[in-house]
């Protein structure tokens, strides 16, 4: 069972979450402000944070960025705002998942279990350092370098890159990416697309002019070294 920090200013919602999570066997701590949450994360720590966006002292999105500056602890966003653009932005800023209110306790614990399962990442690679063209990925150190420059990757971006780099030149189906990197068996196409988009930016490429990451429409994603100058790239 996990140690969960509930960050929620509504006392009724907070009480309901604490009761449900405690009944499920989790150790629960709760706070009502972003500053209290940051203090808890920095000084005490936890296994997972449930973060409400509507906090009285600081917007939850800003609180998420500050938490990410302190730790890679998994964060599930709890929000009443069903806004796709905002949700994409939160995922880009480091959220691991989100739930739109109102949601059931069973839905929350299922999402928590899925997020916590992902912490182990995909299968262990054959080599601790994966090399594809100018990419070097040290799986044990969780470090990635492109053409001699270190890449600043989020935990999920690193997991995705390492998973694809372990299968260079192979078109990996989206369902396999979802199962191995996110530990989910359905849905998640938007999440994959968001992380691919941000990963491409950090690799200095775009979907229309790919170098390493190639999307095969209707099939999946392939990672391979850029073709030599003048060489023809396969579709």
With 0.85 as the threshold, say if the pTM is over it.
no
Distance CA 199, CA 223 (A): 12
Round the average pLDDT of the chain to a whole number and report it: 84
Among candidates 33, 37, 112, 110, which has minimal Cα distance to 71?
A: 37
Residue where one domain finishes, among candidates 70, 96, 120: 120
User: Tell me, what CATH number does 216's domain have?
Assistant: 1.10.10.10
Residues 96 and 153 in one domain: no
Distance CA 43, CA 192 (A): 33
Residues 80 and 146 in one domain: no
Tell whether the model's pLDDT for residue 149 goes beyond 70: yes
Mean pLDDT score, 20-46: 88
pLDDT at 235: 54
**φ, ψ dihedrals at 30, nearest 5°:** -140, 150
Are 174 and 184 in contact, with CB atoms under 8 Å apart? no
Asked if residue 51 is part of any domain, the answer here is: yes
Asked if residue 189 is part of any domain, the answer here is: yes
pLDDT at 107: 85
User: Tell me, what CATH number does 94's domain have?
Assistant: 3.40.50.2300
Residue where one domain finishes, among candidates 120, 150, 170: 120
Residues 147 and 106 in one domain: no
Residues 13 and 114 in one domain: yes
Domain count, the chain: 2
Which domain does 43 fall in, by range?
3-120
Asked if residue 39 is part of any domain, the answer here is: yes
Residues 136 and 219 in one domain: yes
Among candidates 194, 178, 162, 46, which has minimal Cα distance to 117?
A: 178
Residues 73 and 108 in one domain: yes
Q: Judging by beta carbons within 10 Å of its beta carbon (0-12, 13-18, 19+), is residue 138 exposed, middle or buried?
A: middle
pLDDT at 221: 92
Are 110 and 103 in contact, with CB atoms under 8 Å apart? no
pLDDT at 124: 36
Residues 8 and 81 in one domain: yes
Asked if residue 183 is part of any domain, the answer here is: yes
The single residue listed with the structure tokens 């601790």 is: 128
Q: What is the pLDDT of residues 74-108, one digit of tens each?
A: 999 998 877 778 888 888 888 888 888 888 888 88
pLDDT at 127: 46
Q: Which two structure tokens, joined as six digits, stand for 56?
A: 């009285």
Residues 11 and 67 in one domain: yes
Asked if residue 231 is part of any domain, the answer here is: no
Among candidates 78, 79, 159, which has minimal Cα distance to 122?
A: 159
- Please report which confidence band the pLDDT of residue 126 belongs to, taking 50, 70 and 90 as the band edges: very low
Alpha-helical regions (H) of 146-213: 155-165, 174-181, 189-202
Tell whether the model's pLDDT for residue 121 goes beyond 50: no
Are 33 and 56 in contact, with CB atoms under 8 Å apart? yes
Asked if residue 228 is part of any domain, the answer here is: no
pLDDT at 202: 94
Question: Reduced to 3 states, what is the DSSP secondary structure of residue 54?
Answer: coil
pLDDT at 218: 80
- Please report which confidence band the pLDDT of residue 186 belongs to, taking 50, 70 and 90 as the band edges: low
């Amino acid at each position: 069972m996990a140690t969960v920090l509930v960050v929620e200013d509504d006392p009724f919602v907070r009480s309901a979450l604490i009761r449900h999570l405690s009944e499920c066997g989790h150790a629960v701590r709760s706070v009502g402000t972003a500053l209290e949450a940051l203090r808890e994360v920095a000084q005490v720590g936890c296994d997972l944070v449930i973060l409400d966006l509507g906090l009285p002292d600081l917007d939850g999105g800003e609180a998420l960025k500050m938490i990410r500056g302190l730790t890679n602890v998994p964060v599930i966003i709890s929000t009443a705002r069903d806004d796709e653009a905002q949700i994409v932005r939160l995922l880009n800023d480091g959220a691991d998942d989100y739930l739109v209110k109102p949601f059931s306790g069973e839905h929350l614990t299922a999402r928590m279990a899925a997020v916590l399962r992902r912490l182990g990442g995909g299968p262990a690679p054959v080599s601790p350092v994966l090399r594809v063209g100018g990419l070097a990925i040290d799986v044990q150190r969780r470090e990635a370098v492109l053409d001699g420059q270190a890449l600043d990757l989020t935990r999920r971006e690193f997991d995705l890159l390492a998973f694809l780099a372990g299968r260079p030149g192979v078109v990996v189906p989206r369902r396999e990416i979802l199962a191995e990197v996110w530990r989910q068996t359905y849905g998640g196409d938007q999440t994959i697309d968001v992380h691919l988009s941000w990963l491409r930016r950090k690799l200095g490429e775009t979907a229309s002019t790919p170098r390493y990451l190639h999307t095969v429409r209707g099939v999946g994603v392939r990672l391979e070294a850029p073709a030599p100058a003048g060489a023809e790239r396969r579709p």
